[in-house]
Amino acid sequence: MTFFSVIVPCFNVEDTIIQTISSVQNQTFKSFEIVAIDDGSTDNTLKILKLYDNDPTFRIISQNNKGLGYARNIGIRNAKGDFVCLLDADDLWKYNRLQKIYNCINSFNPELISNDEIIYDENKKISYLINKPPKNFRSLLLGGNTLSPSAMTIKKSIFDSIGYFIEDRELSGLEDWDYWLRVYKNGKIIHYINEPLGVYRRDVQNMSKENDFFKKVLKIYN
């Protein structure tokens, strides 16, 4: 039985994906699978993913470009684990992250877990990304998204009750914020591990820098 399913959407990430996958494969806790979704990449991403074809813990889903929300959802729907771990294809995990999450689940039986991350910019550590869950729905709505997808672990059954990530291409980059808002609206509690267990790499281009980002934010508010 697989405990964790690690969902990695991939679109033109040939420069970072090997390091990202390695950070999962090097975990001390071994009951996991990696589900990599190639979302219509036009670079060498799919070719790199196929290098892992002989790894029984690794699966590839290849599709035409349908956006981040759809890519995450197809990975989650094909997940075999009890818990889903989201991981962006340019981020990294500390070697014992899954063991820490597993210990937390055994101790507190949470349905959702967040942890802190270290922020790197051009391969230099610059600060910490505090992923402490907001106090309530209002705080998350008015304060903006403060939860990094790569630092989130979600019990798979949650998706049956709350649903999946929004697939609206006009909200690309805000799928996670929309989902956390629905988590809070449904009265779910996010357990917080006050420890950096991953690396958020800012040197890779971020969707939040797009010119129409604030238009998307207004659409979420509406």
Q: Give me the pLDDT at residue 211, please.
A: 55
Q: Which residues pair with 114 in a beta bridge?
A: 152, 192
Segment holding 108, helix H or strand E: helix 97-108
Q: Give me the pLDDT at residue 205, please.
A: 46
Q: Give me the pLDDT at residue 170, please.
A: 78
Phi, psi of 200 (to 5 degrees): -100, 115
Q: What amino acid is encoded at 142 in this protein?
A: L
Q: Would you put residue 52 in left (φ > 0), alpha (ψ -120 to 50) or beta? A: alpha
User: Could you tell me if 165 and 75 are in contact, meaning their C-beta atoms sit under 8 angstroms apart?
Assistant: no
Going by C-beta distance under 8 Å and a sequence separation of 6 or more, which residues neighbour residue 207?
68, 172, 173, 213
Reported pTM: 0.91
Q: Count of alpha carbons within 13 Å of 55, Cβ hemisphere only?
A: 17
Q: Which two tokens stand for residue 45?
A: 């991403």
Number of H helices, E strands in the chain: 8, 9
Q: Would you put residue 121 in left (φ > 0), alpha (ψ -120 to 50) or beta? A: beta
User: Could you tell me if 192 and 133 are in contact, meaning their C-beta atoms sit under 8 angstroms apart?
Assistant: yes
| Distance of alpha carbon 86 from alpha carbon 24, whole angstroms | 11
Q: Quick one: CA dihedral 35, 40, 45, 46, positive or negative?
A: positive
From first to last of its 222 residues, the chain has per-residue pLDDT tens of: 899 999 999 999 999 999 999 999 999 999 999 999 999 999 999 999 999 999 999 999 999 999 999 999 999 999 999 999 999 999 999 999 999 999 999 999 999 999 999 988 766 667 888 999 999 999 998 888 989 999 999 999 999 999 999 998 877 778 999 999 999 999 999 999 999 999 998 654 454 455 565 566 666 656
Going by C-beta distance under 8 Å and a sequence separation of 6 or more, which residues neighbour residue 48?
14, 17, 18
